[in-house]
Amino acid sequence: MATPAQDLKPWEALRERIADDDRDGAEAVLAKLPPEETVRVLFRLSSEDQQRLLALMPPDEAADLLHEFPDQLAADLIDHLDTEAAAHIVDELPSDDVADILGSLDRAHAEAILGSMDPEAAGEVRELIDYPTDVAGGVMELEHFAYPETIRQRDFIRDVRARRKEIEQLPARLLLLDSLGRPSGAVHIEDVLLANPDSPLGTVAEPVVTLPVTADLDVLEDYFDEYETPGVPIVDDGGRLVGRVRRQDLQEALAERASSDQLKVQGIVSGEELRAMPLVSRSRRRLSWLSVNIVLNIIAASVIAMFQDTLAAVIALAVFLPIVSDMSGCSGNQAVAVSMRELTLGIVKPRDVLRVWWQEVSVGLINGAALGTLLAVAAYLWQGNAALGAVVGLALGINTIVAVSIGGCVPLLLKHFKVDPAVASGPILTTVTDMCGFFLVLGIATLSLPYLIA
């Protein structure tokens, strides 16, 4: 028996409309969502349904949806669309967003999409796509309001009226350019409206400070700290205006840099991980670093092992206690980092804790089995005792599942109780995983004691 439409969750209703290729129905579901819920609902869809939804919607609406996704995931979605459909969608995005998305694709595919775009728009994107993401050229947009310094007020008003359909919002100030295309000043929009209709706007302009395309994010941040302005003009080596960086664009770039640094510290070296990504891909992203880290921990523990001959057989377990606790803590910290990121983006809410827990358990089962096996083999090769390897391997496998469960869920629970998850998640995770790790190693060893000393 089919579930009544009114009883369906928004993402369930959206899945049904996508399955039926019902564009109007999908638009109706999305239209009912509060803006802050849209991204969360989109991330409850599979990647296949996300791709089908983009292909189903008109290009301008698909572009609005694509704008809700982080750049890497947006690039993955575009990468799976046919070239013509992808070109129609990205044509509707601002030039800086297009450059970020296409810059993440294989260059041949990116060029194929650019070749299907409007030639003028494609040319603009090509100007941006090669800039590093940590300089002004990499975060600027090419769309801006700029006029010759000799333009009169009446001519400006006439131009705005003629372009009113393509102008969503007038900027707070206009840039004025000299005959070589270099910024010569800026004029506030209210001063433009009050100016003499026959006077050049340059007569009411004030000086403007520009930055080069090579200025880094810290220089841009200093600029916005010093000047109360919504945007900074960006110029090329010849001083000609090439674009602008908005305050919002800089804040997003700084947040992205901080998030990337945090994830790298936690071992997620690829930058942006989201739980909407395929399970195997997510596991591989984390496991690549964890596999290296377990080797480093075994090397560090070998210092204790030098004294193994003087210790009783059971004391050998002490060598693996810090390995089990540390490796589990690393797995948990990765889960903390992803939960913090998704909370920041609005992808998950505290009420999603059970779904997050299950998704983390799925990764924990795979990574726990892999890491437990590695440690078990290392223990066997070192001591020649299969029982010892089984004890420490099983303990690490179980504790990894515990750690990712805690790491994924604790930030959401702390958020629910209005406690800062960034401050409290780490200490809670470390304490619990250490306790569980020690208990698991020693508890399982106690049950297996006859086999360990045989």
Quote the pTM value: 0.61
User: Exposed, middle or buried: residue 100 (CB in 10 Å: 0-12, 13-18, 19+)?
Assistant: buried
What domains, with CATH codes, occur in the chain?
Answer: 5-130 (1.25.60.10), 146-247 (3.10.580.10), 266-452 (1.10.357.20)
* Confidence at residue 48, expressed as pLDDT on a 0 to 100 scale: 87
* Confidence at residue 103, expressed as pLDDT on a 0 to 100 scale: 82
Query: In the structure encoding, which two tokens stand for residue 55, read together?
Result: 């292909």
pLDDT tens-place string over residues 237-260: 899 998 899 888 888 888 777 666
Task: Give, as one character, the DSSP assignment of residue 388.
Answer: H
* Confidence at residue 299, expressed as pLDDT on a 0 to 100 scale: 61
Averages of pLDDT over each 10 residues, the chain, 454 residues: 63 90 90 82 86 89 83 83 88 83 84 86 81 86 84 88 74 87 89 86 89 91 86 91 88 74 51 62 67 61 49 69 87 90 82 93 94 94 88 93 93 83 70 80 80 75
* Confidence at residue 1, expressed as pLDDT on a 0 to 100 scale: 44
CB 205 within 8 A of CB 184: yes
* Confidence at residue 360, expressed as pLDDT on a 0 to 100 scale: 94
Q: Is residue 212 within a helix (H) or strand (E), and if so which, with residue range?
A: strand 211-212
Dihedral (C-alpha) 312, 318, 324, 327: value to the nearest 10 degrees? -120
If you count DSSP H runs as helices and E runs as strands, how many of each does the chain have, helices first?
21, 6
Query: In the structure encoding, which two tokens stand for residue 216, read together?
Result: 């880094």
Question: How far is residue 236's CA from residue 211's CA, in Å, rounded to a whole number?
Answer: 9
DSSP letters for 319-367 = HHHHHHHHHHHHHHHHHHHHHHHHHHHTS--GGGHHHHHHHHHHHHHHH
Cβ neighbors of 368 (< 8 A, separation 6 or more) are 331, 396, 397, 398, 399, 400, 401
* Confidence at residue 397, expressed as pLDDT on a 0 to 100 scale: 95
Question: How far is residue 282's CA from residue 7's CA, in Å, rounded to a whole number?
Answer: 32
CB atoms within 10 A of CB 139: 26
CB 283 within 8 A of CB 172: no
* Confidence at residue 402, expressed as pLDDT on a 0 to 100 scale: 94
* Confidence at residue 241, expressed as pLDDT on a 0 to 100 scale: 92
pLDDT tens-place string over residues 182-192: 999 889 888 88
